[in-house]
Structure 1
Amino acid sequence: GTVNRGLWYSKDSSVALTAFADADHAGSQDTRRSTSGSVQFLGEWLISWSSKRQKRAAISSTEAEYIALSGCRAQILWMRSQLSDYGLAFNKIPIIEFLTNKLGMKSFMPEMLKKLMNKEDE
């Protein structure tokens, strides 16, 4: 059993919630569907991960990445609400700033980025 196993954090350790998402555009030779992957860390510990074939073929690598980011975002928001129940508070996750500054998507207006982030994988 796993009764005696767990993740232990010292008082001075970081409990930052960090996540990474990626996708391979049209990675399936048969269906041309992409695969989304994501990992989530609490501090230095990996606490959640996912790898899932997307439900439909993405037209571009950007669309495949958005679908992966959407799934990762849903997991982060769920984890944040669970951790809040334990008394841990997290600042707003700066997804828009990440998209514009790190991924170079400055041509999108913030309203369009919000719309794309809220689009669910059908």
Structure 2
Amino acid sequence: MPGLSGRHRRSLRIGAGRLGYVRVFARLFSTGFYAAMNLNIKKWKRLLDLDNPNHGLLLAILIYCVDKKGRPVLGKPRPGPDTAHFIEHEAYKDIAPVIPALRELHYVTHYNPE
């Protein structure tokens, strides 16, 4: 993982089998990703539009993010144990598959001359 020291890389690998490390990493990654989006929010506006079919690509990331006032970016989660269980034990699994899709979408919309 670029940007991480050898010690941190090892601790993530060692802890990768433990759900706690994975959840923390997902939260940290999502927070950083959202902060980077906000640096150039105009380029992300189209993907943040709920009517855009590709908006779903961001959901796995945004579910862990809060705005400047500490409120969930996606709005208040539905109450109940199923939602809490999904956020804590399932949502992070969707982050890794959407990153290549977001990269491809970014390339097609910004660099592809067709």
Report the TM-score range of the alignment, normalised by the length of the smaller protein.
0.3 to 0.5
TM-score after normalising by structure 2: 0.34
Larger radius of gyration, structure 1 or 2? 1
Q: Where is the helix percentage greater, Structure 1 or Structure 2?
A: 2
TM-score (norm 1): 0.32
